[in-house]
A and B are shown apart, each in its own frame.
Chain A
Amino acid sequence: MAENVKPRIRVPNNAKRGEVIEIKTLVSHPMESGQRKNAQGQTIPRKIINRMSVTYNGKPVFEAKLEPAISANPYISFFIKATESGELAFAWTDDDGSVYKATQQITVS
């Protein structure tokens, strides 16, 4: 588990039904590509977040496969249609299997 991984999420608190809203996410992670070498010439093992998935009241709404070329602290934003009040659940999967999770409430009027 990478140290001090804290996902940050911005979701509008209130949205009108049917409105298309932007979700911004940022997770602090070194995203070590596996291509770099340390001072001793040894390869630094790859360690990235390889998958991100988002569910909206349990239904998947966004899924991304992340590759080693993505820079540290990946910032991902996407749009969804606000259909109902509820919970957005975010999950980032690390190469080592650990999953970083976060949730955010949204009120749709």
Chain B
Amino acid sequence: MARYRKILVVASTILAAGLAACSEEKPTSTADSGDPLAQYRANPKYAEFMSGEKMSGYVFASPETQAMQDDDFENPGMLAVQDGEAEWNRVEGAAGKSCASCHGDAAQSMKGVAVTYPKFEPKRGKLASIEHRINICRTEHMQAPELKWESKPLLGLTAYVEYQSRGMPINVKIDGPAAPFFEKGKEFYETRRGQMDVSCAHCHVHNAGRNMGVENLSQGQSNGYPTYRLKWQSFGSLHRRFEGCNQEVRAATYPRGSDEYTNLELYVAWRGNGLKSEAPSVRR
């Protein structure tokens, strides 16, 4: 126990040092002077993973992690896509339908769909992620029960739908009925929270490319989600990642699939508009 407390003290000291750098709105000159993103920008290998100043999480990953994602055979996320394909064709519910009964071949019908999500869904009266949309389809058209968020079949289906848009640029709409939800997401993103009293922007906007402790901070782009995350040793959703981020700054988390996280998902997706979708990606 004593040992544990000591580690905690050391950890908080490191974090406090890291946060001191975050507290300014724009970091001027820190220990690592210069632009921490310049090294990535200069690397021609990363051109396809960038859009202007936006950089996919791929850019910040280690060469080993990148290699895992590059090769579909070694990418464990492809197992989720494989599960999803089986789910797509599985007949379920009172209506005796599968996804394929209405949508046919996903490679045709779902191409380019995922990159426009989350979007305003009139049936919910608010935003819907792909996961929400799948569940609307299940309850309304298949008359099947909703799938639980983060359950294997829902993750699989999400991955399978996202996979059909792989390589296409993220293109979410933030005007019209989505506008008020976008504003809420933006507010969430910029609000300080938790014991650490930092917002998403402190790390992912103002300090991307710098280190916090041993972590290399990315821009927090969502174009690779859902992803196989090495830390989890499993496939997971973006909302699970949000939860992790909230926990890391010792803030209260919201349930996966909640309005808060869905609004945030839209804001984060908009930040990455133009980046190519990489789902299923591999991340640390």
Contacts and interface: CB of A to CB of B under 8 A. Distances in A.
14 contacts: A4-B82, A4-B83, A4-B86, A6-B82, A8-B73, A10-B73, A24-B73, A24-B74, A26-B73, A28-B79, A28-B82, A28-B83, A73-B76, A75-B74
Interface in B1-57: none
Contacts of B74: 24, 75
Contacts of A73: 76, 79
Nearest to A4: B86
A68 to B, nearest CB: 17
B9 to A, nearest CB: 34
- Most interface-central of B74, B79, B83, B86 (chain A CB within 10 A): B79
Interface in A4-30: 4, 6, 8, 10, 24, 26, 28
A75 B73 CA distance: 10
B interface bracket (residues with beta carbon within 8 Å of A): under 10
B63 to A, nearest CB: 19
Nearest to A6: B82
A interface bracket (residues with beta carbon within 8 Å of B): under 10
Interface in A61-102: 73, 75
Contacts of A4: 82-83, 86
Interface string B74-99: 10100100110010000000000000
Nearest to B73: A10
Contacts of B79: 28, 73
B232 to A, nearest CB: 13
A6 B74 CA distance: 15
B119 to A, nearest CB: 30
A79 to B, nearest CB: 16
B163 to A, nearest CB: 15
A8 B82 CA distance: 11
Nearest to A71: B233
Contacts of B83: 4, 28
A39 to B, nearest CB: 15
A24 B78 CA distance: 15
A28 B82 CA distance: 9
Smallest CB-CB A-B distances: 10 pairs = A28-B79, A10-B73, A4-B86, A6-B82, A73-B79, A24-B73, A4-B83, A8-B73, A73-B76, A28-B82
B8 to A, nearest CB: 29
A85 to B, nearest CB: 23
A54 B206 CA distance: 54
Nearest to A24: B73
A24 B73 CA distance: 9
A4 B83 CA distance: 7
Nearest to A28: B79
A10 B76 CA distance: 15
Contacts of A8: 73
Contacts of A10: 73
A4 B74 CA distance: 18
Nearest to B87: A4
B254 to A, nearest CB: 24
Nearest to A9: B73
Contacts of A28: 79, 82-83
A32 to B, nearest CB: 15
A11 B134 CA distance: 36
A10 to B, nearest CB: 5
A28 to B, nearest CB: 5
A30 B83 CA distance: 13
A6 B156 CA distance: 15
